[in-house]
Amino acid sequence: MIVVNYLAAVALLCIGLYAVLTRRNMIKIVMGLSLMEASTYLFMISLAYRAGSTAPVLLSPPPGQSAASLVHGHVADPVLQNFCLTAVVIGVAVTAVFLSVVVRIAQHYRTLDTDKVREMRG
């Protein structure tokens, strides 16, 4: 257990969510979402951690360990790390779409205030 990591992940998540819920500036909302995204990566990587383990690479094991002992569980969980890699790629794409929408909104409405860009309500 690495408690500090989990606490940091929760703190990041809360800061990001706070920004999304209270900030009116669209760029700040996107930043808040990016913070939340980073917190999910930290959380996943921490879930993958095993006490005393190394990276999930079987070639040239660190001193004191053999490839066989690595196979039997002395490595961090590679599946959760793969989760993060996939999500990082998706996250980049989503952020790009996000920012392009924000740019178009800025061009069209001449403001980034979510309170001024709400024609549709009720």
Binding-residue pattern over the window 37 to 76 for other proteins, x denoting contact by CB under 8 A:
x--x--xx--x-----------------------------
Residue 20 lies near other proteins (rule: CB under 8 A): yes
Provide the b/e sequence for 7-19 (b: ≥16 CB within 10 Å).
Answer: eebeebbeebeeb
The Cα–Cα gap between 15 and 75 comes to 31
Residue 8 lies near other proteins (rule: CB under 8 A): no
| CB atoms inside a 10 Å sphere around CB 29 | 20
Among 6, 15, 23, 76, binds other proteins (CB under 8 A): 23
Q: Which is nearer to other proteins, 66 or 92 (CB)?
A: 92
User: With CB under 8 A, what is the number of residues at the site for other proteins?
Assistant: 40
Q: Which two tokens stand for residue 70?
A: 């690595």
Binding-residue pattern over the window 81 to 120 for other proteins, x denoting contact by CB under 8 A:
--x--xx--x--xx--xx--xx-xx--xx----xx-xxxx
39, exposed or middle or buried, with CB in 10 Å at 0-12, 13-18, 19+?
Answer: buried
Residue 15 lies near other proteins (rule: CB under 8 A): no
Residues in a beta bridge with 68: none
